Amino acid sequence: MDFNQAVLTVFIVGAALIVAAMAAVALTSGGAPQPQSEVQPRGYALRRRWFWALAAATVLALIISLPHLPYPSASAMAADMHVTVTAQQYGFTLPAELPRGRPIIFDVTSRDVNHGFGIYGPDGRLIGQVQAMPDYVNHLPFTFTVPGHYTIRCLEYCGVGHAYMQASFEVK
Amino acid sequence: MNALTLEERGISSRVMWLYLGTGLAVFALMAVLGLTMRMAQATWISLDPTMFYAIMTLHGAGMITSMALCGMGGLWSLMYREHRMRPSVAYWAYGLVVAGVVAVLLSVFPGKFGAGWTFLYPLPFIGATWPSWATGLFLIGIALVTAGWIVWCIQMFGCVVSAYGGLRGALAWDLVFHPKEFAASGREAPPPQAFAALVASVDGLLAGAAGMLIGVALIVRWLSPSTVLDPLWAKNLTFFFGHTFANLTIYMAIAFVYVGLPRYVDREWHTSQVLAVAWWGTLLFVATAYFHHLYMDFVQPRSVQYVGEVASYLAAFPPAIVTVFGGVLLVYRSRMRWTLGSLFMYAGMAGWIVGGFGAVLDATIPINSILHNTLWVPAHFHTYLLEGVLLFVLGWVFHNLEERSGAATSALVRWIAGLGIFGGGAIFLLGFYVGGADGVPRRYAMQPPPGPEISAWASTGAIILLAGLVVVLVEGIRLARKRAASAA
């Protein structure tokens, strides 16, 4: 299972658990009632545990995610190969061929409006992206490990030709 | 709370139903437009891209405004019970918002303005396939909606601080930090719905100021084409305004649940220290979470990207731990009376949490790299809008209709409506989530594979969902007529 499908699976399992838990509580409302004064103390005790569980999950998510941010480090900016990408309604200017296994920094900008520079791998999966903005250059670090045909699609709405704005390159 | 006189009841009711009726009518139109776009993406119907993007622009702007109108009217009537407000101000706010909606509508039909509700600078002015007047009319329309919203926020903020002895009282500061003295003083904390009003008005004013600033800047650019704006500055203002305004719709609508749900379970939903502190968190995190819209703008300062992720995570705490948990606890072993009103309110809380979970995943920066501007984005906000905000609004509408008519909806109709809204809704929403995980871009008139195939079954789900909503509409009319007949 790739990363994209893993995220979807986590969501579906989480959503199913939320719905199931709320449905289970709804079913209790048909049984013998309990006074609010009895339900509340137990509920508040459970809420404390729920708070700490959610806090732990949040800290864990931050610990896992923050070291994997897509932003370039200063050392990578200095050492890596730079590739200029220019977006313009409705196309991209970039090299037709890129090396495999070599760290690259895409220097992405736009000549007109905001665009998105979305990289789709040979298997059709979205594997990374950055915005292409007028007056600014965004630096996207990327290392291609799989050879093949890659497609670029615009991922920021840019006008009537947005859906047709794409380009491609080969990684060898 | 002072009991309303008969005349005051009439004022409260007129303002509420005016806003609710208009909001739901706009919603119905926007829902049909949404289905039209999904069917075009499924290649069931042919839609010229110019028209597709014009519809998309109207759908986005109109849907959020429709839910905001519902929240504004409902919350106004609830807070009117706490502290009397001048209805003329509410009518002015309504008039400004509706004038803005009409202007936006005209900019799209016949103007075909299609720069998206985000109108990201400089898109409204470059490569436009629509006339210049449509750009101006759209921007003026957005400015009018924002002006109406600001008027409402100012009145609501004034109401909250007047009702509870200033901002300190409205925040329940003394309840939290001096509980013994507070209890001894005999004062009462603001009810839960007052926190919704406070947060909506304060964060709403901040968002409204940002919206007005970018709106006026773009109008100046429209009038004077030599004007140059900073695209990153414009993007920050646009998303701060848009995200916060959209997000606040659910925080306004939860007030309906605070007031309505306890009546179905004969239990109390009172303000505790935890509830007050939770709303303080909401006040802060709703205003700072918007940075997650700009994760892929790598030129943003790194620090605000961290703020975006942390604030987006923490924004989930108050609803997950306090409000929805409190609602679930209220229902637990309660002998709840299940009607359409209570069903919608309870199910809406599930929709809020499920949509919020999808949002939190997307707010994780490495995950955002593969989900940003894919169908995952409409997935999560359609979840909490359709299965959250809308259900809270419908729950409130039916709560009122049921109380006034003294009638209830049959189990059969509840099942049919429920199957349509939840069953059809699940299919419709899964289309967005699956498409997002497959990297299908959002805002594409023609989608790459597997987009059209997913759009086909998502459209089927949307049709079932709309059928369920039609059943709800018919049932609502039946209850309203019953009430009218009994009143006569």
- How many domains does one find in chain A? 2
Whether residue B437 contacts residue A5, with contact meaning beta carbons closer than 8 Å, is answered with yes
Residue B376 has pLDDT above 70, yes or no: yes
pLDDT at B488 over 90: no
- In this model, does residue B404 exceed pLDDT 80? yes
B3 with B76, same domain: the answer is yes
Q: How many domains does chain B have?
A: 2
A134 and A165 belong to one structural domain:
yes
A138 in helix, strand or coil? strand
* Predicted confidence (pLDDT) per residue in B283-307, tens digit: 999 999 999 999 999 999 999 999 9
pLDDT at B125: 97
Residue that wins the pLDDT comparison between A32 and B129: B129
A63 and A78 both lie in a single domain? no
Average pLDDT score over residue span A61-87? 94
| CATH code for the domain in which residue A155 is found | 2.60.40.420
Angle at alpha carbon of residue B364, lines to B123 and B389, rounded to 5°: 70
Same domain, A151 and A112: yes
* Across B26-39, average pLDDT: 98
Q: Do A147 and A103 fall into the same domain?
A: yes
Report pLDDT for A1. 73
Chain A positions touching B49 (Cβ under 8 A) are 160-161, 163
Token pair in block for residue B148: 């109406």
The strand pairing partners of B284, in sequence order, are none
How many angstroms from the chain centroid is the CA of residue A4? Answer: 9
Which strands sit side by side in the sheet containing A148-153, from one edge to the other? A97-98, A166-171, A148-153, A115-120, A126-132
B421 vs A20: CA distance, rounded Å: 17
Give the Cα separation of B452 and A145 in Å (integer). Answer: 30
Task: Choose one of B336, B351, B385: the last residue of a domain.
Answer: B336
Last residue of a domain, one of A68, A90, A120: A68
Residues A157 and A107 in one domain: yes
pLDDT of residue B482: 86
Q: Are residues B184 and B273 in the same domain?
A: yes
Structural domain span for residue B439: 339-488
Task: Look at residues B282, B309, B336 and tell me which one is the last residue of a structural domain.
Answer: B336
Q: Distance (Å, rounded) from C-alpha A148 to C-alpha B330?
A: 57
Domain boundary among A68, A93, A113: A68
What is the spatial distance between Cα B87 and Cα A155, in angstroms, rounded to a whole number?
45
Indicate if B62 and B147 belong to the same structural domain: yes
Are β-strands A166-171 and A97-98 bridged in parallel, bridged antiparallel, or unpaired? parallel
In this structure, the answer to whether residues B315 and B437 fall within a common structural domain is no
Same domain? For A33 and A103 the reply is no
Residue B122 to residue A162, Cβ atoms within 8 A = no
Based on the domain organization, do B42 and B98 belong to the same domain? yes
pLDDT 10s digits, B238-293: 999 999 999 999 999 999 999 999 999 999 999 999 999 999 999 999 999 999 99
**Minimal Cα–Cα distance from B462 to chain A, Å?**
19
Q: Report CB contact under 8 Å: B370, A134.
A: no
B345 lies in the same domain as B328: no
Co-location of B351 and B327 in the same domain = no
Residue where one domain finishes, among candidates A68, A86, A111: A68
Bridge partners of A129?
A: A118
Q: Do residues B150 and B252 share a domain?
A: yes
Chain A: residue whose CA lies nearest to B432 = A8
Q: Which residues of A touch B127 (CB under 8 A)?
A: 89, 112-113, 158-160
Look up the domain containing A134 and give its range: 74-171
Which residues contact residue B256 at a Cβ distance below 8 angstroms, ignoring those fewer than 6 apart? B74, B78, B345, B392, B393, B395, B396, B399
CB spacing of A70 vs B366 below 8 angstroms = yes
Among B336, B361, B394, give the residue marking a domain's end: B336
Do A34 and A81 have their domain in common? no
Averaged pLDDT, A64-87: 94
- Other beta carbons within 10 Å of B410: 11
Are A153 and A119 within one domain?
A: yes
Per the listing, tokens 């948990």 go with: B325
Enumerate residues 6+ apart whose C-beta is below 8 A from B487: none
In this predicted structure, what is the pLDDT of residue B487?
65
Q: Does B118 touch chain A (CB under 8 A)?
A: yes
Reply yes or no on whether the pLDDT at A139 is more than 70. yes
Residues A16 and A97 in one domain: no
Residues A64 and A80 in one domain: no
Q: Hey, are the CB atoms on B332 and A7 less than 8 Å from each other?
A: no
B408 band by pLDDT with thresholds 50, 70 and 90: confident
ipTM over 0.90: yes
Question: Which whole number is the average pLDDT over B385-407?
Answer: 96
Alpha carbons B470 and B35: distance in angstroms, whole number: 14
- B375, B437 in Cβ contact below 8 A? no
Averaged pLDDT, B342-346: 97
**φ/ψ of residue B134, rounded to 5:** -65, -40
Instruction: Indicate the burial class of B88 (C-beta count within 10 angstroms; 0-12, 13-18, 19 or more).
Output: exposed
Q: In this predicted structure, what is the pLDDT of residue B120?
A: 97
The beta-carbon neighbor of A3 closest among B322, B336, B370 is B370
Whole-number Å distance between alpha carbons of B340 and B415 = 10
pLDDT score at A30? 85
Res B42 pLDDT > 90: yes
| Residue B442 reports pLDDT greater than 80 | yes
Statement to judge: residues B354 and B464 lie in one domain: yes
**Tokens describing residue B132:** 């210049």
Contacts of B50 in chain A (CB under 8 A): 160
Q: Alpha-carbon torsion B463, B464, B470, B476, what sign?
A: negative
CB-nearest to B333 from A33, A58, A158 is A33
DSSP 8-state class, residue A161: T
pLDDT at B1: 60
Residues A83 and A163 reside in one and the same domain = yes
Interval A16-65: pLDDT, tens: 999 999 999 999 998 889 999 999 999 999 999 999 999 999 999 999 99
Confidence of residue B138 (pLDDT cuts 50, 70, 90): very high
Greatest alpha-carbon span in chain A: 71
Tell me the C-alpha to C-alpha distance, in Å, between residue B266 and each of B261, B277, B330: 9, 25, 9
Tell me: the pLDDT tens digits for B152-201? Answer: 999 999 999 999 999 999 999 999 999 999 999 999 999 999 999 999 99
Question: Are β-strands A148-153 and A115-120 bridged in parallel, bridged antiparallel, or unpaired?
Answer: antiparallel
How many CB pairs (< 8 A) connect A and B? 225
The H or E element containing residue B32 is helix B6-41
One domain for residues A92 and A155:
yes
Q: Do A133 and B231 touch (CB under 8 A)?
A: yes
Which residues touch A128 (CB under 8 Å, ≥6 apart)?
A70, A118, A119, A140, A142, B369, B370
